[in-house]
Amino acid sequence: MGFNQVLSKFKSGLTKTRESLFGKVQRLIKARGTIDDELLDRLEEVLISSDVGVNTTLKIIDNIRARVREEKYQTASDLLGLLKDEIVQAVGVDGGQEPLWAAGPERRPYVVLVVGVNGAGKTTTVGKLAGLYHAAGKKVLVGAADTFRAAANEQLDIWSQRAGVEIVRQKSGADPAAVAYDTLNAAIARETDVVVIDTAGRLHTRVNLMEELKKIRRVLEKRMPGCPHEVLLVLDATTGQNGLQQARRFGEAVGVTGLVLTKLDGTAKGGIVLAIRDELRLPVRFVGVGEALDDLQPFDARLFVEALFEGSEELVGQGKGASGTQ
């Protein structure tokens, strides 16, 4: 998919967040002629209401206050440029390693364990992720280790067919760790490039979810030292700050290495991306901006910022605070 197509998807997916966040910011700018304490206090309220998070918001506002004081910014039109600078810093425009190309020949099969609570779009994400790797020329195998939810196997079957990849599954109620082990075994035998393993988000037994996920990790590590190479936590972007708590719990239990934010197109609180990047220091690997197979996109921080500020160029360009970051 070309640059313009990806940017278009980001713009479309962030429409609600952009209209909510920057609609309010632009109204603040138009209503006031200068940057003062009241304007910054109201900007703080806007950021928090967009789920940027209290800690991240306070950091952004404090940095803006310091720059206004030290660099003598005065007009309200400077504010959007300053805000863009701070969001660039919070989100980290470098974006980290391209997640699709982390699966190199030196780590074959490249094992991705996908975790998260039910309802976040986890199983759908597994299918879409498999489709992305398949489209990138990788030989992919999916493991259906969410054996406690009756519809999970059938759902993953459908997505695997759409993605054009093979699946390993067992009957409902089978040991999830055994499914993960069998999947990895099959992948090694078939010289598969990438393994994507679905897991349960809630168990209907007395076994604790986190303990079951730890068991899966141990089994994979025993069969192939060093894996899973990536543990992706799927978060529903519409849950906002609750996502931070989920990330902390799963991170403590299974060592989350990256995040997938789904349903970003369905929320006005896309500011959660900033809170997660800034507070948890976890990279956002992929974002979901729609229902189609190719609507799961590798996260590009630069495109995220550009899409978030779409339509604000005329205001950014007027102020001394404009960084010129494009």
CATH number for region 99-299: 3.40.50.300
Place of tokens 């999947």: 183
Q: Where are the domains of the chain?
A: 3-95+306-316, 99-299
The pLDDT tens digits along the chain (326 residues) read: 555 666 677 777 777 777 777 778 888 888 877 888 999 999 999 888 888 888 889 999 999 999 999 988 888 778 888 888 888 888 775 544 456 666 566 678 999 999 999 888 999 999 999 999 999 899 999 999 998 887 888 899 999 999 999 999 998 889 999 999 999 999 999 999 999 999 998 865 545 889 999 999 999 999 999 999 999 999 988 887 778 888 888 988 899 999 998 887 776 667 778 888 888 888 888 888 777 777 888 887 777 877 777 765 544 444 444 443 33
Residue 109 has which token pair? Answer: 């099969």
Coil vs helix vs strand at 231: strand
* Alpha carbon 157 to its chain's center: 24
- For residue 151, how many other CB atoms are within 10 A of its CB? 10
∠ CA 258-57-309, rounded to 5°: 75
- For residue 228, how many other CB atoms are within 10 A of its CB? 25
Report how far residue 98's alpha carbon sits from residue 112's, in angstroms, rounded to the nearest whole number. 14
Q: Considering the domain delimited by 3-95+306-316, tell me its CATH architecture.
A: Up-down Bundle (1.20)
Residue 311 has which token pair? Answer: 């339509």
Place of tokens 């598969």: 192
One fold for both 3-95+306-316 and 99-299? no
Q: Which residues touch 63 (CB under 8 Å, ≥6 apart)?
A: 86, 89
Residue 160 has φ and ψ, to the nearest 5°, of -65, -40
Report how far residue 64's alpha carbon sits from residue 24's, in angstroms, rounded to the nearest whole number. 18
Closest by Cα among 236, 298, 283 to 264: 236
Closest by Cα among 197, 192, 186 to 134: 192
DSSP assigned state of 278:
I
